[in-house]
Chains A and B, each alone.
Chain A
Amino acid sequence: MIAIRSFRPWVGACALAFLAALAGGALLSLASEALRGGTEGFAAFDSYLWRVARFTLVQALLSMLLAVAFAIPLARALHEHPAFPGRALILRLFALPLALPALVAVLGITSIYGRNGLLAFAFSSLGMDTIPNIYGLPGILLAHVFFNLPLATRLVLASLDSIPSDYWKLAAQLGMGGWARFSLIEWPVIRRNLSGIAGLIFMLCITSFTIVLTLGGGPRATTLEVAIYQSLHFDFDIARAVSLTLLQLGLTIAVLLLLGLTGKPADEGFSLQTTTRRFERPGRAAQCVNTAIILLGLLFVGLPMGGTVVSGLGADLARLMSESIVWRAIATSIVLGAAAALLSLALSLSLVIAREYQQSRRRTVSPGLFERSLDLGASLIMVVPPIVIGAGWFILSRHAINPFSLAPVMVIGVNAAMAVPFAFRILRPAWDTAASRHNRLCLQLGITGWDRLRLIDWPALRLPMGVAFAFAMALSLGDLGTIALFGNDSIQTLPFLLLQRMGSYRTQDAAGLALILGVLCLLLMFAADRGAASLARQDNARDG
């Protein structure tokens, strides 16, 4: 192309610099703290630390295995019955846990499997005196499977949907049975994507914070993330926090490297499912089994959500809503969430625009270092768990100012960075497609600058920007990690207030707050989902 100086690479470089500074600053602060502590810092590598590390790995491994093992039959059943009543609704329901705040889910799970939950009620009315105890490993696994089974199901279903429809015609013509179809057609495709899916879930579980904080606890069921938080928040033991953080970082990087070796992480499962037409008629027995599997999966995911609503409605909502502290928390959450979403959008868009610009300018086949960093920067931020970033800046800032006064900045910055991988993946395809359609045309017609933004880019970007904003805001609203470190009486978000009420055993209040928080997030997800749906329709209809 004839070179025109463009600001685009600079915008991307700025976004990259922000992410690097946010994560790098935290890591540098921790490193310097570790060196300053001399041997004291490393003495903290004691048996407690290893036990925590082992538990972190074990719970993540078990959560991953359970989620994937249940997801495969569930996805198969859903795929085999494209006309299953309410199938679209089920898939929509399965998209919700992605943005459902972990605290809300924890309360929902407690309302079903907890001491006073539905299950306990069922047991006692059957005359059994088993009282379920979900605190510890079982509860953590339940919650992790609740979150990741739907995700895994959607991802496996997406890979099944990628099978060419001719295969199904062929399978029907050749009269393949269920097992032959599975082993010859479905399994090869699933296996190809499995390492990515399993790796993603393992990564999510290894960095899980809220679930372990609320359902685990105690030295026997603590993960590294929670141990970092406890050592900073309760013991103020910086040396221990540093060694825990280093261990956590080493672990996530090792997992990511392993993932890189075994296969690419799968898509985020946020895209809308298309349905493949199937041509064979499943037998009666297979139909019954599939129906049972789908219903079980639906109950497993739906019951805790229903439980949240029921116990939330059981709370004294009128009194809650008359408390000014609740309103303040709602307002704080919305303001911080919106700010984080806006920042996240700006960062992601900058990365996307700069990446596409670099790509369009190169003549070589393989991307250069800068282009690759723009791509990687968006996902690499996932390596550094928010609690680590929070911990680093917490320790760094305490020399200069009261770290608690940093709360709003940290919450916005960290949540924005954490939403970047998702926003990037929503924006990038929309921008890249629009750019590939419009670049030459705009260049020839001389449509540049403000004219191009107003007439060409904004119409193409409006919808994906809305989707990304709603999704990023839903993620930020539910965050507990950063606010748990920095939160205090002067700045409280809804999840923070919720955690406080849970801590003081005001269960009813907590349930009510969970309902409010859940509804806020679901409204945003609903908006994002609607947006994504019309985006897909637009894509199908568009052919300029």
Chain B
Amino acid sequence: MAEQTEKITTGGAAIRLDAVRFDYGDMAMRFDLAIAASSIAAIIGPSGAGKSTVLNLIAGFEAPLSGRVLIGDADVTHVEPSRRPVSMVFQDNNLFAHLDVAANVGLGRRPGLRLDAADRQAVHDAIAKVGLAGKETRKPAALSGGERQRVAIARALVRNRPVLLLDEAFASLGPALRHEMLDLVGQLQKDTGMTVVMVTHHPDDALRLPSTLFFLENGHVAASGPAGELLSAKGPSLLRKYLGSQELSL
């Protein structure tokens, strides 16, 4: 797996869900969507619409009943999660509580944690890049919520995969911290050119970064387009209905 990682050069990969059917309980879902390489996509919609399911399908935690999942040019529909060119950051439980920061990041490099000098250098650089230099030996319990998510992002960096999925990764953080994390993601995306797909409860997250918006409803994509347009007063009526009188803070 590690060899495979090295082959992938930094940069983004396009993502396509091609007539993907999936059902969860009694809800039938069908997804058709295309995300351009090196772009930022934001997925919003009411809870239960299937936002996280889309990410789980891309990451390989769920298998579609039919249809294809494509990342780059490759059909990954039947590829297991660790072999997909994808890193995912969850809302919580991103870290192993009994391992320190460096080990948690190092696992992204070698799943057996047998790190050589180059690996250790990469881990060190990634930790510095997310602003956690000096905290390598801390256990997750000694970190704040924002710092934990930074560790998870550092791990995504050392994994060096062209797609980063954020599953409400910053939902439990306060507004200021959330914006800070979004800015960090935006900066890293600019540096690496990776494709970022984020699921969020906050429509203004989509506006903070130059993103394509996908609005999900009842298990399908109900609207998509540049976030700025869709979220404006001229956007489609179903989106205005979802947003209600919510003020968007830019």
Min distance, Cβ A149 to any Cβ of chain B, angstroms: 39
CB neighbours (8 Å) of B168 from chain A are none
The stretch of A104-112, A390-398, A455-463, A512-520 in contact with B is: A455-463
| B64-99 CB contacts (< 8 Å) to partner A | 78-83, 86-88, 90, 92-99
B96 with A438: CB separation less than 8 A: yes
| A2 touching B96 in the complex, CB below 8 Å, given contacts A451-B113, A544-B140 | no
Interface size, chain A (Cβ < 8 Å): 26
- Bound-state CA distance A52–B96 (Å) is 57
B203 within 8 A of A: no
Task: Given A2-B63, A542-B141, verify A444-B81 contact (CB < 8 Å).
Answer: yes
Q: Does A365 belong to the interface (CB within 8 Å)?
A: yes
A-chain residues with CB within 8 Å of residue B63 when the two chains form the complex: 1-3
Quick check: B80 and A544 within 8 Å, CB to CB? no
Q: State which of B104-112, B173-181, B222-230, B239-247 sits at the interface with chain A.
A: B104-112
Please give, as numbers and ranges, the residues of chain B lying within 8 Å of A542 by CB-CB distance.
Answer: 97, 141
Are A451 and B111 in contact, CB atoms less than 8 angstroms apart? yes
Of the residues A436, A446, A447, contact of B83 by C-beta under 8 Å? A446
A363-B94 Cα distance, complex, nearest whole Å: 23
Question: Among the listed stretches B54-62, B118-126, B207-215, which one makes contact with chain A, having 4 or more residues with CB under 8 Å of it?
Answer: B54-62
Contact A447 B111, CB 8 Å, known A1-B63, A438-B96, A544-B93: yes
Query: Across the interface, do A444 and B88 meet the contact criterion of CB distance under 8 Å?
Result: yes
**For the complex, what is the distance from the CA of A1 to the CA of B82, rounded to whole Å?**
12
Q: Flag whether B134 is at the interface (Cβ < 8 A).
A: no
Nearest CB in chain A to that of B60: its residue: A2
Residue from A4, A437, A440, A542 having most chain B Cβ neighbours under 10 A: A440
Q: Which residues of A contact B92 (CB under 8 A)?
A: 543-544
Given A365-B25, A456-B96, A544-B96: A446 and B60 interface contact (C-beta under 8 Å): no
In the assembled complex, the Cα of A153 lies from the Cα of B29 at a distance in Å of 51
Provide the main secondary structure of the chain B interface. Answer: loop
List B contacts of A447 (CB < 8 A): 82, 107, 111-112
Nearest chain A CB to B245 CB, angstrom units: 33
Q: Kindly state the separation between the CA atoms of A456 and B103 in the bound complex, as whole angstroms.
A: 11
> Range of interface residues on chain B?
35 or more
Q: Mark B1-31, 1 if CB is under 8 A from A, else 0.
A: 1000000000000000000000011000000
Residue pair A455, B1 in contact (C-beta under 8 Å)? no
A292 within 8 A of B: no
Report whether B97 and A543 are in contact in the complex, using a CB–CB cutoff of 8 Å: yes
Partner of A544 from the list B87, B95, B112 (CB cut-off 8 Å) is B95
The CA of A436 and the CA of B97, in the complex, are separated in Å by: 13
Contact B93 A4 (CB under 8 A): no
Contact assessment for A455 and B99 in the assembled complex, using a CB-CB cutoff below 8 Å: yes
- Complex partner residue of B111 from A1, A363, A440, A448, CB under 8 angstroms: A448
Contact of B141 among A2, A448, A543 (CB under 8 A): A543
* B82, B86, B99 interface centre (most CB from chain A within 10 Å): B82
CA distance A440 to B90 in the complex (A): 10
Q: In residues 2-47 of chain A, which contact B (Cβ within 8 Å)?
A: 2-4
Q: Which residues of A contact B (CB under 8 A)?
A: 1-4, 363, 365, 436-438, 440-441, 443-448, 451, 455-456, 459-460, 541-544
Nearest 3 pairs of A and B residues by beta carbon: A446-B82, A544-B97, A447-B111
Given contacts A544-B93, A544-B94, list 6 more A-B pairs with CB under 8 A. A4-B80, A440-B81, A448-B111, A451-B112, A455-B96, A543-B92
